[in-house]
Structure 1
Amino acid sequence: MSQAVMQQVIITEPGGVDKLAYESVAVPAPKADEVLVKVHAFGINRPDILQRQGLYPMPKGVTPVPGLEVAGEVVAAGSDVTKFKAGDKVCGLTNGGGYAEYCAVPESQTLSIPAGVSFAQAAAIPETFFTVWANVFQMGKAKAGETVLVHGGGSGIGTTALMLCKSLGIKTFATVGTDEKVQAIAGLTDAINYKTQDFEQVINEKTDNGGVDVILDMVGAPYLEKNLNLLRRDGRLVYIAFLGGAKAKEVKLGQIMMKRLTITGSTMRARNTAEKAEIAQGLQEHVTPLWAKGECLPMIYKTFKFDQIQDAHACMDTGEHVGKVVVEVIA
């Protein structure tokens, strides 16, 4: 490797985008089970924003450098690595540290980039696809012929869920906050502007009061009652965030019992290596073939250069994006 020093992004203290800065550090050495990736691009995700704001504390032993997903070229591999070698093009779900020129990623959380997929596209894959696969398909058990409601349908997570459902024969509805977002994802789903329409009423009208089988929710408490009303018998409500509030004042327990509903949720960062490896295996088996055919590739809203990290975060802060925001380290 030609350089022993690299640039990485740090959070100087909790706050706004002005708290993001650069520092020079030694290039990391991969552990026995890791690959060292020369980062060509990385994705910006909502947890990164929360981490910058001081609202997403790091687990013990995890780097404070933000960045949950990278794409690039393997330049070194640990002694226990068997699937990848120097020169391989990969994307990976990091354990932090993705906002950098080099990043060490566990082999079990790394995927090969299919031919024809750009580094920018691949960088937008890991965090959202790992999250959606784990929550909608593993925990939510969504399957062909069912109906899924995705709240936050214009987000990176939302668009990923909608694309996967469409490719796998699952009907969807989605809520978004503007008419522009309704139009932007009209080709993927039946989108509803929750600010101008009652999504419960709209879905009931369009399903003859049949409701939905699975709901992926990142809003939380304000939607709980409507979610429970909309779920069919044996329905599954899966939480991945509580952007609208984490405490519900009232819960209709009778509906949960009578409909045999399941309410669950998860965070990706809290999962252990084995759990993340299982998710990666599911993606490798079921989704990588779709990417290779040009299907289910991430919707990229905007790309920024490495020296524009504050602008990239400011873009996410507006909430106007549809799909993913990506930073290209090597254009």
Structure 2
Amino acid sequence: MTMQAVTQREPGGVDTMEIGEWQRPRLAPGKLLVRVMAAGVNRADLMQREGRYPPPPGASPLMGLEAAGWVEEAAEGSAFQPGDAVLGLVEGGGYAEYVLMDEVLAIAKPDELSWVEAASLPEAWMTAWFNLVEKAGVKSGDQVLIHAGASGVGAAAIRLAAMLGAQAFASAGSEEKLAFCRELGAARVFNYRDTPAFGELVKSWGGADAVLDPVGASYLAENLQALNPDGVLVNIGVMGGLKAELDFGRLLMKRISLVGSTLRPQPLQVKARLAAALRDRILPAILDGRIKIMVDSSYPWAQVADAHEYVAASRNLGKVVLTMFSPQVG
């Protein structure tokens, strides 16, 4: 049995993507077969499209790491039933009519959330929680520097810092994005284009106890400068390069912890723990108005190339989502 999906002829640019026929996933133990209504767009998808971020063994080769939709099939004894609305992280394959979702990662979609809003949540919020709470140990009273504060993960991290009682500093590349970060709750912001040597600036604000950084090599020295003693630098991306010179003297004297972190390869039990945090801590805050969902825009899945180009150009304020309505739904 086949389905429609965003496929690729070969790794490369946006012109390599097309909507074509693909084998429909078959239900497996511990999984749900979900008819996708919306799927989040992430930089990991762009890297996979370019051939720089291959899916892990056994995962779908299709792009898409988060989805929201209807349960089409569920195994006997499942807590979910066909017709239930769910959202969740997937190993891959979200850019398709149907996707397999681990049941332990599936979260019942509240009626108050649209499909687009629901699909915008798993990757950004689980990444923010994993790295700020579990990796960096951010707590009330801390100061946290969040780079790319207007991105999907950055926006979630700024709001999460506030939830934890921490103060957020944020970097972004335009006045519009800096205003967006302030709206989210960032106490201090700076334009990285105007302030390449940001370490001293952040130190003048009292320094950072943790840094969340998707940039990597080009920011290493300034991140170490910005951090307070016993601070934690969590690198979640390499947009600024793979290799940099490390000042071990500063690392040792300030007792800094340097952490590399990616979500996709994490064991299922780790992702299940993060899904529980999204379900039990983040969603209640969204539903009672303490957190506002930040969706920049949505694109019909036929315009996936436009969505990728938009994210690649860093034009988004918050999440970008594909609406992927199957033919039965219209």
TM-score (norm 1): 0.93
Alpha-carbon distance, 1:244 to partner: 0.4
The correspondence for 1:319, drawn from 290, 301, 314, is 314
Alpha-carbon distance, 1:297 to partner: 4.1
Note if contact 1:120-1:328 (Cα within 8 Å) is conserved in structure 2.
yes
* Map 1:20-169 → 2, pairs under 5 A: 20-79=17-76, 81-82=78-79, 84-169=80-165
Q: What CA RMSD, in Å, does the superposition of the two structures yield over aligned residues?
A: 1.6
Structure 1: state its 5+ residue gaps: none
Alpha-carbon distance, 1:105 to partner: 0.2
Q: Single out whichever of 234-243 and 182-191 deviates more from structure 2.
A: 182-191
The correspondence for 2:298, drawn from 263, 283, 303, is 303
**Identity score, percent:** 38
Deviations 1:98-132 (A, max 9, x none): 00111110011111222311110110111111111
Note if contact 1:7-1:100 (Cα within 8 Å) is conserved in structure 2.
yes
C-alpha separation in 1, matches of 2:77 and 2:44: 30
Note if contact 2:203-2:225 (Cα within 8 Å) is conserved in structure 1.
no
Alpha-carbon distance, 1:202 to partner: 2.7
Alpha-carbon distance, 1:65 to partner: 0.5
State the match for 2:201 in structure 1.
Answer: 202
State the match for 2:257 in structure 1.
Answer: 262
Note if contact 1:177-1:193 (Cα within 8 Å) is conserved in structure 2.
yes
AA at the equivalent of 2:34: V
C-alpha separation in 1, matches of 2:28 and 2:139: 38
AA at the equivalent of 1:264: V
Note if contact 1:36-1:75 (Cα within 8 Å) is conserved in structure 2.
yes
Structure 2: state its 5+ residue gaps: none
Aligned length: 323
Note if contact 2:87-2:122 (Cα within 8 Å) is conserved in structure 1.
yes
Alpha-carbon distance, 1:96 to partner: 0.3
AA at the equivalent of 2:24: V
- The runs of at least 4 aligned residues of structure 1 exceeding 4 Å deviation read none
AA at the equivalent of 1:169: G
C-alpha separation in 2, matches of 1:5 and 1:256: 53
AA at the equivalent of 2:201: V
Task: Classify the secondary structure of the residue corresponding to 1:187.
Answer: helix
C-alpha separation in 1, matches of 2:19 and 2:117: 24
Task: Classify the secondary structure of the residue corresponding to 2:183.
Answer: coil
Note if contact 1:114-1:291 (Cα within 8 Å) is conserved in structure 2.
no
Deviations 1:191-247 (A, max 9, x none): 210111343233233x2xx30111001111111111112211221110101110121
Alpha-carbon distance, 1:168 to partner: 2.7
